[in-house]
Structure 1
Amino acid sequence: MAKTEDKATNKENDSSWKDVIYNPRTGELLGRTASSWALILLFYLVFYCFLAGMFALTMWVMLLTLDDNVPRYRDRVPHPGLVIRPSPLDIKVNKSDPQSNAVYIKQLESFLQRYNDTEQERNEECNPGEYFLQDDTEENTKKVCRFKRGSLRSCSGLSDTSFGYSDGKPCILLKMNRIIGLKPRGDPYINCTVKRDSQIEIQYFPSKGRIDKMYFPYYGKKAHENYVQPLVAVKLLLNKEDYNNELAVECRVEGCDIRNNDERDKFLGRVTFRITVVE
């Protein structure tokens, strides 16, 4: 008799456990009827549709305040940095082994492709010494002033394909970082000094390392799609006495209101690199 009662109890326990999943007597699934499940699913559907609608509305309102050409928030410094090509800040030139300099020459040649005459002929012949203002134009794409690599003369890679590296008189190209809307006041130019007792002759191309104002302002990557920065080439006329010595060269943007003496940022308006030429 006890066994019969145990079997009845086990059957009752199994039945009550299954009823938690589905109760055939009340038609409940996981404790809810079909109508209850329908109501709660409808509630969550409406709730999440409302959240999605609110998110889409706020995104649409935010996008209305944005300009396609100018970032809404510009947390970068208002003054440009100065960078060099070839890109390493520690350049080692081997005069007797031209093949070892190939990496620098390849970088320079690749970088100057956008400055070829075939590319620059498409751009505008601008008025030197004047900002090229295009704020009032309705065109989506802004025009670009010409900068032909031929203006870099012996550092253009046209007459001397080694950029002076095979002669131990290497060329370094300098350019300023792009800053939207920048209009430097004054007459900007690049000035380089070699940190050593004896002076080293330096040639600048264009003449006096001048950066013409006609290449400013820059209107942003989208509006100024074909924009190219003006370049200044520095040719170090080294002698035998200068070979096998590490030379520290500092170049600054001078003659204008661009900051170049901020101790917190060594690349703001200036750049320092090291160059060693071995025979």
Structure 2
Amino acid sequence: MADAYMKKAGDRDTTFKTFVWNSETKQFLGRTGSSWFKIGVFYIIFYACLAGFFAIMMAVFYQTLDTNHLPKYTPGDGGSLLRNPAMGFRPLPRAENVESTLIWYKNGDNDDIKHWVEQLNDFIKPYEGTSAKTSGQHVTDCSESKLPGPEEVCRFEDEWLTDKCQKAEKWGYNRESPCIILKLNKMIKWIPDVYESMDELPEKMPKLLKDHIEKRMAENGGKIPKMIWVSCEGENPADQEYIGPIRYSPWHGFPAYYFPYMHTPGYLPPIVAVQFDQPMSNVLINIECRAWAKNIIHDRQNRLGLVHFELLKD
């Protein structure tokens, strides 16, 4: 029995050696030299054609891309998400509550307000020192009468932020007047359709904002400044009672000459600092801020044209 087993094992060993190299047929791994040469040439040609086809497809694909890194689809090309800007706010909640929109702090407690102050300090860093910089190749001073050129962007100076909405004042969190900062999301080629007369103002626009626009119109020679106006107010009657006076700096919105955004180097989006003077303590206040222009739609579900957050001051 053992001899038979050893004989079979020897036969298998001989068969494997013959498969690796058959001296009688001159075959290596079951193929002759000419067979290996033919299959080698085939796969070289096959993979060369595959690589060439891939290279051609990539070249065609890159021809469709903008050399300035602009997206293929811009506002007006697609659905509502491409036509309407969204608005964001700072400071953001702590990492463990990333989905929350609650700004909750203990008034005057330096340890507790540290997160909120550092969030705003980090956000404002790109804007710091802009007043001391030269115009450079792309950055220039702008106004309604002096619009930026095709390769220019408007300067935003951090010194425009006033009152307690400043880094030196810890953004009001060490006092009774906390600040938040609003900004519009960057949308390439999006141009605001601003209000040009009081008759164009929507009925839902808050009366305080309408009064402010009317005052600015009187100061501007009867013309409404070209702005994306901003309003913040309590969502419910109780919130409106507890929220207290609100101040905006440097403007009551975003000047239209900062738009459109074209991915030009040096661009800093305009921001609005909103200061809440004496909000009620120990009360959760629901706040909604909206951006106003004729081509901005307010959609709470998709968070378009507005932003919601809660403020709780202990």
- Structure with higher Rg: it is 1
SS class of match (1:175): strand
Q: Distance in 1 between matches of 2:132 and 2:269?
A: 12
Q: Distance in 1 between matches of 2:62 and 2:29?
A: 45
Q: Percent identity?
A: 31
> Given the alignment, which residue of 222, 229, 232 partners 2:272?
232
Tell whether the 8 Å contact from 1:191 to 1:252 is kept in structure 2 after alignment: yes
Q: Does 1:213 align with 2:234?
A: no
Q: Residues 30-41 of structure 1: matches in 2 within 5 Å? A: 30-41=29-40
Tell whether the 8 Å contact from 1:132 to 1:217 is kept in structure 2 after alignment: no
Shift of 1:181: 0.5
Unmatched runs of 5 consecutive residues or more in structure 2: 94-100, 195-226
Q: Distance in 2 between matches of 1:6 and 1:200?
A: 97
Tell whether the 8 Å contact from 2:165 to 2:275 is kept in structure 1 after alignment: no
In structure 2, what is the equivalent of residue 154 of structure 1?
163
Q: Distance in 2 between matches of 1:233 and 1:161?
A: 13
In structure 2, what is the equivalent of residue 257 of structure 1?
295
TM-score (norm 2): 0.74
Superposed CA deviations along residues 131-164 of structure 1, whole A, max 9, x for unmatched, are: 6451xxxxxxx32211112222114415x52211
In structure 1, what is the equivalent of residue 246 of structure 2?
202
In structure 2, what is the equivalent of residue 83 of structure 1?
88
TM-score (norm 1): 0.83
Superposed CA deviations along residues 10-62 of structure 1, whole A, max 9, x for unmatched, are: 87665444322211011011221011101101110011001101110111121
Counterpart residue type for residue 123 of structure 2: F
Q: Residues 112-191 of structure 1: matches in 2 within 5 Å? A: 112-118=124-130, 121-122=133-134, 123-128=139-144, 132=148, 134=150, 142-157=151-166, 160-186=168-194, 187-191=227-231
Give the length in aligned residue pairs. 259
Tell whether the 8 Å contact from 2:244 to 2:278 is kept in structure 1 after alignment: yes
The structure that is helix-richer by fraction is: 2
Q: Distance in 2 between matches of 1:15 and 1:29?
A: 15
SS class of match (1:154): coil
Q: RMSD between aligned alpha carbons?
A: 2.7
Shift of 1:213: 0.9
Q: Distance in 1 between matches of 2:125 and 2:9?
A: 86
Distance 1:226 1:8, change over 3 A: closer
Q: Does 1:109 align with 2:108?
A: no
Counterpart residue type for residue 163 of structure 2: S
Deviates more, 1:249-258 or 1:44-53: 249-258
Distance 1:277 1:19, change over 3 A: same
Q: Distance in 1 between matches of 2:143 and 2:112?
A: 42
Q: Distance in 2 between matches of 1:9 and 1:105?
A: 82
SS class of match (1:162): helix
Q: Residues 10-49 of structure 1: matches in 2 within 5 Å? A: 15-49=14-48
Unmatched runs of 5 consecutive residues or more in structure 1: 135-141
Distance 1:130 1:188, change over 3 A: farther
Q: Distance in 2 between matches of 1:9 and 1:210?
A: 91
Q: Distance in 1 between matches of 2:185 and 2:293?
A: 17
Shift of 1:204: 1.0
Distance 1:64 1:6, change over 3 A: closer
Tell whether the 8 Å contact from 1:202 to 1:236 is kept in structure 2 after alignment: yes
Q: Distance in 2 between matches of 1:61 and 1:67?
A: 13
Distance 1:120 1:55, change over 3 A: farther
Q: Distance in 2 between matches of 1:7 and 1:124?
A: 92
Tell whether the 8 Å contact from 1:129 to 1:213 is kept in structure 2 after alignment: no
